[in-house]
Structure 1
Amino acid sequence: MKRITAFISALIIFLGVVFFTQPAQNADKNLASQKVIKVGILQIMSHPALDQIHQGILTGLKEEGYRNGKNIKVEFQNAQGDQSNLKTMAQQLADHDDILFGIATPAAQALVNAADKSTPVMLAGITDPASSGLVKSEKHPGGNVTGSSGDSPLSKQLKVIQEIMPHAKKIGIIYTSSDAGGQSNARKFKRLVEKAVLEPKMYTISNTNDMQQISQRMAGQVDAIYAPQDNGVASAMKTLVNNANQANKPVFPAADTMVKDGGTAAYAIDQHDLGRLAGHMAAKVLQGKKPANYPVEFVVKGKYVINQAQVKKLHLQIPEKIMEQAQKNGKVVK
């Protein structure tokens, strides 16, 4: 009897150990078997606006549970403004990674051309992706491409210029000839300026090396300068601002980061939010949502950003309501 009791006790203990340890072992096996997702990010060049989008992508992925070094591995390539590097870098990422992000239109186009149709390509803050041929339409992208867009709130940007510079008549608009998003932004703004019965004066640079000469000439011919969402202009922002300051002319940029680089004021969407939205969308694609039927999503809510040092330097007055909103919901750069 004692032997039977001891046997039963031992059996119960054995079964208890198996019962409690097996789920943990299975969990460890499942964790070990989880695939680390390879994420490729291609950026056309470095400047604060694009760098903020890049950081936003990582933030969005992290908020969805995808952490670099844990369940995802991020591979980042930066062409540093060299178009010839884009094709090679895009192909490298497309050959190795499970999902791709394009920061700026040329980077996104290079990835779309390099990737096979089964690899998702996420747009990160691309202006007017349909006109760039990246998607069939924003509502029905088709193919393997979707992502975030953030068309500038142009009418509010013009209103900022008018409220701070009520006597300005000639508005200079500068953009890069090779930047599709910059061109689109500049042309739309030109039409708004004409509708407001003001005179738009268009200036084009082919690359950042042109900014010194072109902006110097422009600053002597206009009352205020508008700098659109344009990678070439953003990269040469300090040169633009330096020449504008010498002529005592304010620069009103489209991006919040460009205000920090010397712009006077802006009503702008947050570049970090553009990347963050793309990161959230990518998580849904990784979980099974098809890019072809996943509409491009937009960041539309902007904020006032004021560069206090520039305002003082140019002896300008910021309307009280704009300053209050910048202090409350936007940003005041000191």
Structure 2
Amino acid sequence: MISVSRDKLKRVCNAALQVLMLAIIFATLSGCQRGSEARKYVIGYIDPNPEEKEGAPGFLRNMPKHGFTEGKNVTYIKIQTKDKQAIENGIRDMVGRHVDMILTMSTPPIKMAKELTQGTNIPVVFIMYDAIGTDIIKSFVDHPSNITGVQLQGSTPKTLQWLLAISPRARHIFVPVTFDTGAAKQSLEKLKESCNQIGLTVTVAEVKTVEELQPALKSMPNDTDAVFLLHSWLVGSHAGEVIEEANKRHIPVISAGHVDYQHGLTMSYGPTDDSIGAQAARLASKILQGTSPAYLPVENAEVYLGINLKTARNAGMQIPEEVLRRADFVIR
């Protein structure tokens, strides 16, 4: 009798163990299935300069590299306009929908995003020329807890040093500029400051329309030693015309960003089209994976020295070998 009871108990225990094992397996598989269902993210995207290829568009190109693909696990609410009221309304809508993150460029939209996201914990990643000088942040590590990003300015002084390396007698710089981006005025001020420190003269020609560009280039002083392109979309998108005029005068066209050696400039020292967006995408990826912006210092844009020897030859210029050895990119 006792033996039968023991056998029965053994069978019951075995059955219970099997049920328990099946329950564990089911729970594990269910957990894996839930884990494999990718979370859907909603990201606000503000680009007040949709004509440009760098920055915000680079962010979109690089996000899939981190596993965030539009139409798959990411939906973007895109505001692509210079209209400040439309941008403000767009940010208010993003805040109302409590998006997972906002990516924005240029000083006015970034200031709006900073103000409108206060107290919401909505992360903001920015791309802008001067975050400290515009009071968006106090320092790279001292910034609002929901804000971080990439600052562009900082390469101008070194760009001028590279100019003197390829053209030691340079004393006079010509700057055609359209104030069509938030960074245009800021980068001009930085250029003037840097030139003043090393004794270079700056002549500025403001260009408001495409039609004004050619007359401005023709007005270039005869003693001009180099043309410097700023963060100005209109002038940058017509870099070919600037280069053509400079070649006639056998002088280099240089830049600290926005347009670079790939666009035909003799020399550039600044970010590439894709590198800025890649930095912002990396920051965004960390945020979407759970890292607070408070623990992500603001970054300076990564800069590269690029030399275009084809343009240099067309201008009748000789680039010193020591400069070529230190260049990150050379078009021969």
The TM-score normalised by the length of structure 2 is 0.80
- Residues 121 and 146, structure 1, Cα contact 8 Å, conserved in 2: yes
Question: How many pairs are equivalent?
Answer: 325
Please state how far the C-alpha of 1:238 moved relative to its aligned partner. Answer: 3.2
SS of equivalent residue, structure 2 residue 46: strand
Which of these two proteins has the greater Rg computed from alpha carbons? 2
Verify: 1:19 aligned to 2:24, yes or no. yes
- Residues 229 and 259, structure 2, Cα contact 8 Å, conserved in 1: no
- Corresponding position of 1:28: 33
- Residues 95 and 115, structure 1, Cα contact 8 Å, conserved in 2: no
Going from structure 1 to structure 2, the CA distance change for 1:86 and 1:233 (only over 3 Å counts) comes to farther
Equivalent AA in structure 2 for residue 55 of structure 1: G
Please state how far the C-alpha of 1:168 moved relative to its aligned partner. Answer: 2.7
- Residues 61 and 280, structure 1, Cα contact 8 Å, conserved in 2: no
- Corresponding position of 1:44: 48
SS of equivalent residue, structure 1 residue 202: strand
- Corresponding position of 1:193: 195
Matched-pair identity in % = 20
Going from structure 1 to structure 2, the CA distance change for 1:87 and 1:47 (only over 3 Å counts) comes to same
1:146-189 per-residue CA deviation (whole Å, 9 max, x = no partner) reads: 21113242222112222222233321123333534222222222
* Structure 2 portions without partners, runs of 5+: none
SS of equivalent residue, structure 1 residue 218: coil
Distance 1:296 1:123 in 2: 9
Distance 1:242 1:294 in 2: 43
- Residues 232 and 258, structure 2, Cα contact 8 Å, conserved in 1: no
- Corresponding position of 2:225: 223
Distance 2:96 2:213 in 1: 37
Aligned residues: CA RMSD: 3.4
* The 10-residue stretch of structure 1 (283-292 or 164-173) with the greater mean CA deviation from structure 2: 283-292
1:133-155 per-residue CA deviation (whole Å, 9 max, x = no partner) reads: 43355442236432111324222
SS of equivalent residue, structure 2 residue 316: coil
SS of equivalent residue, structure 1 residue 50: coil
Please state how far the C-alpha of 1:305 moved relative to its aligned partner. Answer: 0.5
- Residues 256 and 266, structure 1, Cα contact 8 Å, conserved in 2: no
- Residues 269 and 303, structure 1, Cα contact 8 Å, conserved in 2: yes
Going from structure 1 to structure 2, the CA distance change for 1:93 and 1:315 (only over 3 Å counts) comes to farther
- Residues 262 and 308, structure 2, Cα contact 8 Å, conserved in 1: yes
SS of equivalent residue, structure 1 residue 155: helix
- Residues 49 and 181, structure 2, Cα contact 8 Å, conserved in 1: no
SS of equivalent residue, structure 1 residue 215: helix
1:61-105 per-residue CA deviation (whole Å, 9 max, x = no partner) reads: 744x544445433344432x6667544554554544321111333
Distance 2:210 2:96 in 1: 32
Verify: 1:332 aligned to 2:330, yes or no. yes
Going from structure 1 to structure 2, the CA distance change for 1:214 and 1:138 (only over 3 Å counts) comes to farther
Distance 2:258 2:184 in 1: 16
* The 10-residue stretch of structure 1 (9-18 or 147-156) with the greater mean CA deviation from structure 2: 9-18
- Corresponding position of 2:74: 72
Please state how far the C-alpha of 1:44 moved relative to its aligned partner. Answer: 2.2
The TM-score normalised by the length of structure 1 is 0.80
Please state how far the C-alpha of 1:237 moved relative to its aligned partner. Answer: 2.6
Going from structure 1 to structure 2, the CA distance change for 1:233 and 1:284 (only over 3 Å counts) comes to same
* Structure 1 portions without partners, runs of 5+: none
Distance 2:80 2:244 in 1: 27
Map residues 208-287 of structure 1 onto 2, 5 A cutoff. 210-218=212-220, 222-255=224-257, 257-287=259-289
Equivalent AA in structure 2 for residue 45 of structure 1: N
Distance 1:89 1:206 in 2: 28
Going from structure 1 to structure 2, the CA distance change for 1:82 and 1:316 (only over 3 Å counts) comes to farther
- Residues 219 and 244, structure 1, Cα contact 8 Å, conserved in 2: no
- Residues 38 and 98, structure 1, Cα contact 8 Å, conserved in 2: yes
Going from structure 1 to structure 2, the CA distance change for 1:88 and 1:175 (only over 3 Å counts) comes to farther
* The 10-residue stretch of structure 1 (252-261 or 285-294) with the greater mean CA deviation from structure 2: 285-294
Going from structure 1 to structure 2, the CA distance change for 1:19 and 1:195 (only over 3 Å counts) comes to closer
- Residues 219 and 243, structure 1, Cα contact 8 Å, conserved in 2: no
Going from structure 1 to structure 2, the CA distance change for 1:150 and 1:202 (only over 3 Å counts) comes to same
